[in-house]
């Protein structure tokens, strides 16, 4: 199943299911449905996809947790050793953007980068979750772009502000439920800018897989339905290219993960 959150002039913001015929509206919010607070049921006929604006599948998570330097090939690209434990940072909810929304390039940055990532969403509350039961807590998976202002990141000497600018977390296009993705550690992912391939890898390159991350995070953090966890990016980011490649107004960024779909975001000046 493919959960979405969408809006139209007639419906306002609604949860729905993506189907071949469009989007079928559901009762309740996406997060309440995941938390089991709502028993969803269709509330109308499918709306053609061309008539809806897709929003982030989970537009109101309690947490957005991200992982840095989590691909072997990305560490090799940077010439840094593999980390011995996950490197964790956060993004703010105001950084979320839909799968077709614009990426707004803030006027104070000239070094804005792209990072395709696999994200997963928590579907069941837990703490001290053992690795062997970790995937039971996953509701589903989606594509995520960890957009980053490298100059802000470098000047601040930490990551949060440069990664949390408004619209710096496009995600979607749908939350694909766990039953459709039996092995999250074997998915091809790729990203292009203006049709030029930039990133290409496989989630098998992750140092810490989905189950490892859930077990690690839940040692100290209670994970709740709707929490978004993004798992790191493979090589090919603009910052480590020679010469570097940074996003500029008019650029179209397409991020695709096998079985999950694509984000297609255009960059605009603030």
Which CATH number does the domain housing residue 213 bear? 3.90.850.10
Residue 14 has which token pair?
């609604």
Read off the pLDDT band of 160 (50, 70, 90).
very high
Residues 30 and 86 in one domain: no
Q: Is 157 left (phi over 0), alpha (psi -120 to 50) or beta?
A: left
Read off the pLDDT band of 129 (50, 70, 90).
very high
Q: Is the pLDDT of residue 39 over 80?
A: no
Residues 30 and 111 in one domain: no
Residues 19 and 138 in one domain: no
Nearest CA among 198, 263, 252, 197 for reference residue 230? 263
Residues 40 and 62 in one domain: no
Last residue of a domain, one of 12, 35, 55: 55
The total domain count for the chain is: 2
CATH number at residue 29: 2.30.30.370
Q: For 166-204, write each residue's pLDDT tens digit.
A: 999 999 999 999 999 999 999 999 999 999 999 999 999
Residues 171 and 69 in one domain: yes
Helix (H) or strand (E) holding 148: strand 148-149
Residues 120 and 162 in one domain: yes
pTM: 0.96
Q: Is the pLDDT of residue 41 over 90?
A: no
Residue 256's Cβ-side half-sphere holds a number of Cα atoms within 13 Å equal to: 12
Contact status, residue 71 vs residue 118, Cβ threshold 8 Å: no
Residues 97 and 156 in one domain: yes
Q: Which residues pair with 198 in a beta bridge?
A: none
Phi then psi dihedrals of residue 183, to 5 deg: -135, 95
Residues 23 and 118 in one domain: no
In whole angstroms, give the CA distance from residue 150 to residue 171: 20
Percent of the chain with pLDDT over 90: 85
- Alpha helices (runs of H) in 5-71, residue ranges in sequence order: 30-34
Residues 193 and 220 in one domain: yes
End-to-end alpha carbon distance in the chain: 36
Contact status, residue 53 vs residue 8, Cβ threshold 8 Å: yes
Q: Is the pLDDT of residue 37 over 70?
A: no
Domain that holds residue 130: 56-269
Last residue of a domain, one of 37, 55, 73: 55
Of 30-34, 174-178, 210-214, 242-246, minimum mean pLDDT range: 30-34
Residues 100 and 11 in one domain: no
Residues 40 and 173 in one domain: no
Residues 248 and 160 in one domain: yes
Of 33-37, 65-69, 116-120, 161-165, minimum mean pLDDT range: 33-37
């Amino acid at each position: 199943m493919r959960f979405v959150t969408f809006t139209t002039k007639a419906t306002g913001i609604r949860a729905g299911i993506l189907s071949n015929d469009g989007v079928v509206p559901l009762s309740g919010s996406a997060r309440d449905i995941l938390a089991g607070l709502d028993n969803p049921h269709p509330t109308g006929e499918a709306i053609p996809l061309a008539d809806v604006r897709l929003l982030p599948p989970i537009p109101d998570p309690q947490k957005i947790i991200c992982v840095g330097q989590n691909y072997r090939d990305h560490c090799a690209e940077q010439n840094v050793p593999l980390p011995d434990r996950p490197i964790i940072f956060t993004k703010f909810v105001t950084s979320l953007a839909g799968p077709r929304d614009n990426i707004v390039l803030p006027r104070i940055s000239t070094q804005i980068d792209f990072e395709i990532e696999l994200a997963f969403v928590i579907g069941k509350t837990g703490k001290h979750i053992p690795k062997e039961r970790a995937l039971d807590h996953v509701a589903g998976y989606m594509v995520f772009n960890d957009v980053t202002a490298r100059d802000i990141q470098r000047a601040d000497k930490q990551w949060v502000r440069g990664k949390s600018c408004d619209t710096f977390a496009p995600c979607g296009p749908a939350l694909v439920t766990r039953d459709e993705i039996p092995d999250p550690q074997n998915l091809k992912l790729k990203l292009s800018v203006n049709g030029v391939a930039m990133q290409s890898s496989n989630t098998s390159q992750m140092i810490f897989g989905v189950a490892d991350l859930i077990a690690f995070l839940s040692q100290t953090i209670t994970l709740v339905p709707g929490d978004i966890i993004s798992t790191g990016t493979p090589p090919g980011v603009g910052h480590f290219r020679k010469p570097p490649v940074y996003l500029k107004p008019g650029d179209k960024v397409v991020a695709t993960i096998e079985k999950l779909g694509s984000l297609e975001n255009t960059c605009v000046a603030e």
